[in-house]
Amino acid sequence: MKTSGTTDVVLPLTRKQKCVCNAVMGVLLVAAGVILALAGTGVISASVRAIAAPTILFGFGMSVLFSAIVARNALSMWLAGVILACGFTSLFAVITTAGYSNLFPIYVAAPGIGCVFSIWFAEAKYPQVKAMVFFGAFAAVFSLASSGACGWGLTGGLLAACGGLFVIAYAVESYFRKEKDENA
């Protein structure tokens, strides 16, 4: 889908595109419902409680992803990336021995993962990259504690230092951007 060229405003979908996107969303959500029903009746040997979150997140996330691709919409791509990252985290918690206490850094990284998805359609790429670095760095620091590599005392100090570095980077970037704007 084309944008207006000067802004990130996305032009509306055609009637046919809306119909296809809604149909795909319906099919994916019906498939999620069938999977949960099969688990509830014992045909699939999995607890409905255990697979409900990943099944629903994947069904909804894939439908948003499909619509975002059709619309070439960066915001919808970001949302799909966040939803799918959360879906994968829920799935990993079900199929591996790792629990949410080990996997929560993926939730911290989810906005950055959304930026990885959205960068393909975003007109401004640099803000996407900055967000990926920001959320990725904090997720990496949190993963030190969740993996057991260091305790929360050290992790807290690293989080504060990481936050301070980002504040300094923001201050420097803002100063030079404003100076550049004033000299232009």
User: Could you tell me which residues are beta bridge partners of residue 115?
Assistant: none
Instruction: Match 């409680």 to its residue by tokens.
Output: 49
Report which of 87, 68, 86, 54 is spatially closest to residue 25, judged by C-alpha positions. 68
Q: Is residue 7 part of a domain?
A: no
**Lookup: tokens for 98:** 């790792």
Q: Is residue 180 part of a domain?
A: no
H helices within the chain, ranges in order? 15-41, 48-71, 74-95, 100-118, 126-146, 152-183
Q: Is residue 66 part of a domain?
A: yes
Instruction: Match 């409905």 to its residue by tokens.
Output: 48
Q: Is residue 183 part of a domain?
A: no
Q: Is residue 42 part of a domain?
A: yes
Domain extent at residue 33: 15-106
Radius of gyration of the chain (CA): 20
Q: Is residue 57 part of a domain?
A: yes
Q: How many angstroms separate the CA atoms of 14 and 126, rounded?
A: 30
Q: DSSP code of 13? A: P
pLDDT per residue, tens digit, the chain (184 aa), is 444 444 455 668 888 999 999 999 999 999 999 999 999 999 988 889 999 999 999 999 999 999 999 988 999 999 999 999 999 999 999 888 988 889 999 999 999 999 999 999 999 899 999 999 999 999 999 999 999 899 999 999 999 999 999 999 999 998 888 766 666 6
What pLDDT shows up at residue 26?
93
Q: Is residue 172 part of a domain?
A: no
The count of domains in the chain is 1
What pLDDT shows up at residue 20?
92
Report which of 142, 143, 184 is spatially closest to residue 163, judged by C-alpha positions. 142
Q: Is residue 97 part of a domain?
A: yes
